Amino acid sequence: MAEIIGGYFTSHVPAIGGAIHKGLKADPYWKPFFDGYPPVHEWLAKARPDVAVVFYNDHGLNFFLDKMPTFAVGAARRYDNADEGWGLPLFKSFEGHVPLSWHIIEQLVDDEFDITTCQKMLVDHALSIPFELAYPDASVWPVKLVPIAINTVQHPLPSAKRCLALGRAVNKALASWGGNERIVVIGTGGLSHQLDGERAGFINAEYDSFCLDNLAGDPDALTHDSVHEIVRLAGTQGVEVLNWIAARGALGLGAAREIHRNYHIPISNTAAATLLLEPA
């Protein structure tokens, strides 16, 4: 029977990719952020997941605004990165887990989530950077991928409550999957940040702490705020916390235990966070 080994949550700021490529991990600006990852490496080395189910948001690589799904589940054999507009070195490709993708899709539709399915799907920095951080020495990714994209770009966005329910439906699918894989659930993005408008540079450590403190034990606490209120508290791009909430849901209804946390201000315009949870 498949086992969910836990959840890994991390920011995905594009500049992190730049710092990795330029070898800046020990640079004083970057060190407090990258110091959050050795515990992730050790945890993954011990837990040895072979599948990753990743909740993230696309930033105009796979989806343009002409067709913008609220929830999109990848069911591709392979996922490639591509030029996101900056001509940066490309991130490594991923092997898909097609049967598990379709199993999750079946469960989600059964639970009345009207999702989009993608047999071709480019994955951007929001998906790739968490793996660069988790497996810095890998020549190929040691996990197969099931990506789940949440619209955090074009309002109306799905509510936090709906994202948690989506994650919980994914958990049902993982619990009923007949394989013997070891599955890690990943949520990417956030935490508080705002790139646009006169409030650009907004960061809110108080709200980030609220999220980090409650994600393991009481994730429903994060669903009481409307998306608009989350924008007020976390910034226009801080709504990426929806990806974290969905990923927490995929760990199941039971309690979760915090294994590791790192929180650092700032990375680029963002309050950066790293969190590991295990089913209690």
- Fill in the per-residue mask, 225 to 244: x = in contact with another protein (CB under 8 A), - = not in contact: -x-x--xx---xx-------
Minimum gap (Å) between residue 260 Cβ and another protein: 17
Pick from 45, 67, 86, 178: which binds another protein (CB under 8 A)? Answer: 86
Q: How many chain residues interact with another protein (CB under 8 A)?
A: 44
In terms of Cα–Cα distance, which of 173, 134, 161 is closest to 246?
161
Q: Which of 24, 117, 265, 279 binds another protein (CB under 8 A)?
A: 265
Query: Which residue, 157 or 183, has its beta carbon nearer to another protein?
Result: 157
Cα 26 from Cα 4, distance rounded (Å): 33
How many whole angstroms from its chain centre is CA 19? 20
Regarding 155 and contact with another protein (CB under 8 A), the answer is: yes
Check: CB of residue 61 under 8 Å from CB of residue 82: yes
Would you say 28 or 178 has its CB closer to another protein?
28
> How far apart are CB 63 and another protein at their closest, in Å?
10
Which position among 27, 106, 154, 217 is part of the footprint of another protein (CB under 8 A)? Answer: 154
Nearest of 151, 159, 140, 167 to residue 53 by alpha carbon: 167
Check residue 151 for interaction with another protein (CB under 8 A): no
In this structure, the chain runs to a length of: 280
Position 266 contacts another protein (CB under 8 A):
yes
Segment (H or E) for 39: helix 38-47
Active site residue 193: yes
**DSSP 8-class letter at 66:** T
Q: How far apart are CA 258 and CA 124, in angstroms?
A: 28
Terminal alpha carbon distance of the chain: 18
**What is the rounded distance in angstroms from the CA atom of residue 134 to the CA atom of residue 154?**
29
Helices 241-249, 205-215: inter-axial angle, 10-degree rounding = 10
Q: Could you say whether residue 217 binds another protein (CB under 8 A)?
A: no
The catalytic position among 12, 103, 193, 264 is 193
Among 101, 128, 171, 194, binds another protein (CB under 8 A): 194
Contact between 60 and another protein by CB under 8 A: the answer reads yes
Question: Looking only at residues 26 through 45 of this chain, which bind another protein when binding is defined by CB under 8 A?
Answer: none
Q: Which is nearer to another protein, 48 or 228 (CB)?
A: 228
Cβ atoms within 10 Å, residue 98: 16
CB 149, CB 247: distance < 8 Å: no
Find all residues with CB under 8 Å of 232, minimum gap 6, and list them.
none
Q: Are 277 and 251 in contact (CB under 8 A)?
A: yes
Answer yes or no: 260 catalytic: no
Candidates 58-66, 69-77, 107-115, 160-168: pick the segment binding another protein (CB under 8 A): 58-66
Per CB under 8 A, 137 contacts another protein:
no
Q: Mind telling me the catalytic residues?
A: 125, 193
Question: Which stretches of the chain bind another protein, using CB under 8 A?
Answer: 15, 59-61, 64-66, 82-87, 153-156, 194-206, 209, 226, 228, 231-232, 236-237, 263-266, 268-269, 271
